[in-house]
Amino acid sequence: MAKIYTRTGDTGDTGLIGGGRARKDNLRVAAYGDVDELNAAIGLARAELSQALPAVEAIDLILVRLQHQLFNLGAELATASTSETVSFEVEATDVVSLENDIDHYSGVLKPLTEFVLPGGSKSAAALHLARCICRRAERKIVTLAAVEPVRPEVLRYVNRLSDLLFVLARASNHVFGVEDVTWQKG
């Protein structure tokens, strides 16, 4: 890239991978925008976790893997639905990896007996924020899937990802020795 600005979006549209253009408020563009925001939130969580390296190295390795997968997911969503070639796809094996990570950390943590509120350590709060952004991205992708083709693996991936982010937020609190913040009814 020679310059960061191209001026091609000055009229409110943007280019899609594989050709074509879409309005910047198009569902497809909104969906991959939310995925991009989620990736940034995970980056924030990683920055917070970096203060506790090497104790959180395993969590950081998962998060960096997720950032790469989210970039692939964003690229897949940014590909025009008329394009036949997509070389960066979220696969069923990626969903299985998320499930394995959820199972691993769930086995290490105390079983849930109460609802957990976002908070605790700074990294846990950042991961809870990422989880909320993930849920928003999922809602946009579901809406997109109602009007354009979206592979089932994409929907499964974002659904499991929000669960993993919740578990990693709890794991982050555990590593930092901070109790989860629990909901107190009334």
Beta bridge partners of 79: 17
Q: pLDDT value at position 64?
A: 97
Q: What is the block-wise mean pLDDT of the chain (186 residues), using blocks of 10 residues?
A: 82 91 94 97 95 89 97 92 69 96 96 94 97 98 95 96 98 95 91
DSSP 1-25: ---S--STTTTSEEE-BTS-EEETT
pTM for this predicted structure = 0.91
- Looking at the structure of the chain, the number of domains it has is 1
- In this structure, is residue 12 part of a structural domain? no
* 2 lies in some domain: no
The residue range of the domain holding 21 is: 17-79+88-181
Asked whether residue 186 is domain-assigned, the answer is no
Per the domain annotation, does 129 fall within a domain? Answer: yes
Residue 9 located in a structural domain: no
Is 180 in contact with 116 (CB distance < 8 Å)? yes
What per-residue confidence (pLDDT) applies to 87? 67
